[in-house]
Structures are given as structure tokens and as C-alpha cells.
Structure 1
Amino acid sequence: MSAEYATFALAPAMRAGAVLANGTYQVHRDFLDFIVDGRPLLFQLSDLDAVSPLASDVPPAIFTSHVRRLLLETEAPLDGGRYIIYGCPECETLECGAVTAVIERSGDDVVWRDFAWQTDEHADLELNGYHGIGPFRFRGDQYRAALGGLLDDASSEDEAPARRRVLLVGARVAVLAKLAAALRTIGIGAEITHDAGSAPPEELRTYGAVAFGRAVGEEERAAVKEAFARAGADVAYVEGLAPIVPLLVAQVEHALDRSPLEQRRLTRLIAADDEAGVEVTSTCRVQLMAYRLDRLYRTHTQEVFDGVLEPGKHRIALDPRAVKGQSFLVARTTGSVLVAPMLR
């Protein structure tokens, strides 16, 4: 085994929820990803739709249990000293498949090795091993400091709650109600209001984003923003592009993404003249959905691209019929979503 050290850190990450074209939903998950040598470990595992055990929506006792396992303070949950590194974001059961690895002490160091895709109690390294990934040797003090800090945060009474809540402000009540229902279905809290000024500051600080409908005037927008500023709340503001629920959900998901830009897979989307400009930081599957309003304000939806892209910038030709008139593009990959109006 190589004596070369890898660096270990943690960073916020997100598995973006979605309202899919077939009417099903994809659940929103916030979690901490493992940053190995400055890069998310998840990005090395192909285009895997998974989250780490360090998710913000698990009960505190379970979260603490996961941390203590990674610190090797408790027994490994799987045979052979194996631990779950990433699991299914929908149900988190081993039957759906999980990335596991052996975690062990080596003197004062900690080693992660023998990564594998596992669906039952035993891992078949020859058949399902991630060959070429690891082993990683971490300095014990760095490793324990990163994970141990989570235990300090979990025990703090002043810790802020996860801000997966959105305040919706708009004039079209029917659209807002549908949007709120869709957000709640994928795991994001949503409330509708016309007067944020009367809300207590501690309540405003629980929101991660505020979404404005197109009909909201500048005076009302300014009043809402002033209320959040007085409360000392750091929120992202979303300008709703169109009364299309899946489109608005994608805008909210992007606003809630607090992961560092350099640690996202999807970093750029431009839509102009029947062409999309997309930039990704690692090899991944990218899906492009076009949403269009016709002259009667009916919504038309069409998938215009679904393929694997290599790192870098890409230009993708679009079906002119799918993006004519007032249209918008949503780009999705594992953990990232971007939205852009079609420019002419």
C-alpha cells in the first residue's frame, strides 16, 4: 500500500429534487460529501445518484451514529469491516445498492480501501469493485478533526436548522399552491405569503430562499427583502421565469444549492438561438428539458438532450420546434440543476 497521503475534508452537497415529466418526483437531499485531495469523492464514482450517510434530514441520533462509525468508534455495520460511503437517496437501503469500503486504522492514520458496489451482505470485489479508486491514506488528526467537528455541531443548542424552506410570494394563488405542494412532495418546506414584514425574525431566518412570481411589483419585492435584511437572514432570491411548476421547482433547487461552485458537476448553462451551452467539471450524464408557453399559455414539455458529457464546455443543437416562442431550458445532472431562458 502506498504511503502517500490524501487530504480529507467535508463540504455541503445536494441531490436536487425534481418534478419529472412523467409525473413522478425525485426527492431533495442535502448532505456532506467527502472531499479527497480537494475533489468530491462522489465525482470519481461515475455518474452515481447517491448521498453520503451524513445527510441533514436524518434524525440527530442517527447522524451522530454515522459520524462515530466513520471515526471507528463503533463496529462496522457490514461484514469484512466495510462501511457505507454512499447510498440510495430515496430509501437508503442496501438492497438498492451502495458504495462501501473498508475503513481501518493504520497506526495513527486512517485508510479507506477496497471500494465496491454492494447490494447484499457480502461485497464481490472482483465483480463489483471500483478498481483504480483508492486506497486513500488520511492523516489521523486531519480526519478526526473534520468528522469530530460534526459531533460538536450536533451537540450545540444554538445550531441553526437545515434551511430547506422556501417562501413563495406571488399573485397567482393556484400556481403558488401547486408549486408549494410539489416542493413539499420532494422534501422542501414551502409557505405562501403576501406580508413577510409581520413574521418574527427567527422564523424568517429558517428560510433558504424566497421565490417571487412575475406579477409581484417592485415595491412588494423591496418590502420582503427589507424584512429579511432586518432579520439578518441570508436567503437566495428567485425571480420566477414562468408559471410552470417543474421549471419553478428547478429554479428553487438551484437557489438552495449552497455547495461551492468548484465542487459542482454542472457549472454553466446558456440557451440562445436554438442552441445550448453547457459546462461540466467531470464526466456525467446531462439531461436537457425544454419548457414552452404557447400563445394560449399552455405548457409544452420536451426532452431535447440526454447523454454523457466529458469535462469542459459543450454546444448542443436543440430542436427549434421545442424552443420556439417563450421557452426555457432546464439542465440536470447528478446533484446539480441550472435554468436558462431561451434568448433570441
Structure 2
Amino acid sequence: MREIADRLHDWHHAGTAYAIATVVSVAGSAPRRPGAAMAVSETGEAIGGVSGGCVEGAVYELCREALRSGRAVRESFGYSDDDALAVGLTCGGTIEVFVRPGPVPDRALTAISRDERVAFAHLMDGTGTTLVVWPDRHHGGSGLADVDQIVVGEARAMLDGGITGIRSVRCREGLDVFVQSYAPAPRLLVFGAIDHAAALTRVGAFLGYRVTVCDARPVFATPARFPDADEVVVGWPHRYLDDQAGRGLIDGRTVVCVLTHDAKFDVPLLEVALRLPVAYVGAMGSRRTHDDRLRRLRAAGTTDAELARLHSPIGLDLGARTPEETALSIAAEFVALRRGGSGVSLGRTEGPIHHDREAPASVA
């Protein structure tokens, strides 16, 4: 929707009624991904697209009908002998489209234009109710407190991971919500160009993080050694992290993993990291290395409150031996922290299996 937000904003302020169609799921070789959108105004103007031309005509008519009826509709288009020529979907894939009357909440359009981290949660029923969800607040609602609580929680979890897709509303059988996230992927900053870093980079990429490997030694910090990293940086770790923070590129989802276990790199880097509002700071090393590191950090002026944020020795107790097993134990620890998990075997716990840390429930 980002590409049509400015025009929707114009329609909104001009009082022009419109309907909007959004791709909510795809399969096979469908040309557009979930989140692609087309809108049709009451004057017949169309903007955006949902299929690169394949089914635009059929979706256009669905939008016109939504304008007339005021009702939302969910429709699938797929290749078959009967309907391929009728709708023009000859690519062999399928797409599912959700069409609802506008307007998109003005706050949502403003959030997009400001490049804020925000999610739109569209209830996929006849109402097409939209909730706008930020990490710390939300706007709009269905009028049903239990539905809104689940939808907002699910949207925040998906926004946290930059995920767009359909989820079931657990308290209402048959009710789905389509969540469209506008957020960059969370960052995983791996300091120390060692074998364990290569394994952690692979795991981080698999989990959907944007991964950076940083090391001051150019012979080790090379893209060839870390093909799964989004970027490999040669530079002093503490200077790189301080620069990223100063440029506003570090946030509350950022994971910092210090794998160098060399005091000349670790201590100045951890001094910076432990004072930043990041999600996780972990440092590799033996228990003896850990104790020595704490003494050096205290001598450098790091407070007990800051040191309490340090996960060291890094990772959960999995009995890990190989770099890959160690990477798994590290990732398990920061995922548990991010999601509010205990790290205990599920068979020894009670309550929900899927849960997230509570966020303030204020409404904007």
C-alpha cells in the first residue's frame, strides 16, 4: 500500500469515497506478494495493482461492488480450464484478495508517509474493520474487547518480525485477520569474524534478521567467509556500534552478539552496547573470561544495572559443542528473551505455548 498512500491521502481529504483491494495470500507463480494493493475511487479512477495486470479487471469490479454495498469480500483467483481466460490469470499461480470499502484511517496513511513502524490489521469479515497497531499503542477496534486484544497482540508480534500474512483470531471460530507490517527486519549484529559467527549468521538469516558481521581484522572480515550476512564491515566494533546508534539505526529489537572474547575488542564494545536500548547483549567466553570481563567493565565505569543486562557466557545450556550447536543456543536465548519465554522444556511448563511480552494497551 505504500506506493498508493499519497493518492489515498488526497482522496481522503477531498472526501472521495473509494474501495481498496489487498493481496492477502499467494501460491505458485502469482506475480505480486501479500500486501500489494489497488484502490478504486467513486469516480472510477484506479491506482496500484494486485496482479501485474492478470486479474485487475475482475478486482476493479469487486471494488466497485464494495463501494455500492459497503461490504467487504474475500475472493480467490487461480488458473483452471474454466476461469483462466475469464480473469486472465494465466501464470499458473493463485492469489487471494480482500476487498473492503475505504477509507484507510488517516493515522495509518500518516504513519506510512513518516516511515514509522506500524501494522494494519484488517478483520476479514463483512465489516473489514481496520486496526492500526504501533509497538506501543493502537487505533481503532471491532467493538469486541477479546477480539481486539488478540488482534493487537498478533499484529505486534508480526510487526516485530516484519511479517505480513493471515492469522486466525483464536477467540472467534472462522474469523481471520490480515496483518500488513511496515517495518524493517530486526538487526543481528555479530562482532568477531570467527567460525561461530558464520554459523550464527546462518541462523540469524533463517530467523529473519538483517545480519551484520563486524571485525577490525580485514583478513577475516570478508563477504566470502560470511555469504549469509547482509553486510560485512571492517572496523573497530565499538566505533561501528556507536556510529550506528548515532545514526538512529539501532532500536529495541536489535541483538548484539560479541564473539571476539578478546578484551581489547570486548570491553570498549560492551561499554557502548550495554548503554543502548537494544533487545539483547551477549558475550562469548569461558566463566574465567566472563569474570575478567566484568572486572574490566567495572573499572571502565560500567554500572551494576548495565552489567545486569549482559548475557554471558552467551547462550542457553544445550551442551553445545560445534559452532552450529553454539549458534542454536545463542539464538534460542535471544528468541526466548524477545518473546518472553523461559527457556525451559515445554513439557515442564503450563499455560500458552505461544506468547509475547506485554506491550502497553493504550489506544491512540
The structure whose residues are more often helix, as a share, is: 2
TM-score normalised by L of structure 2 = 0.31
TM-score normalised by L of structure 1 = 0.32
The structure whose residues are more often strand, as a share, is: 1
Determine which structure has greater relative contact order: mean sequence separation of CA pairs < 8 Å that are 6+ residues apart, divided by chain length. 1
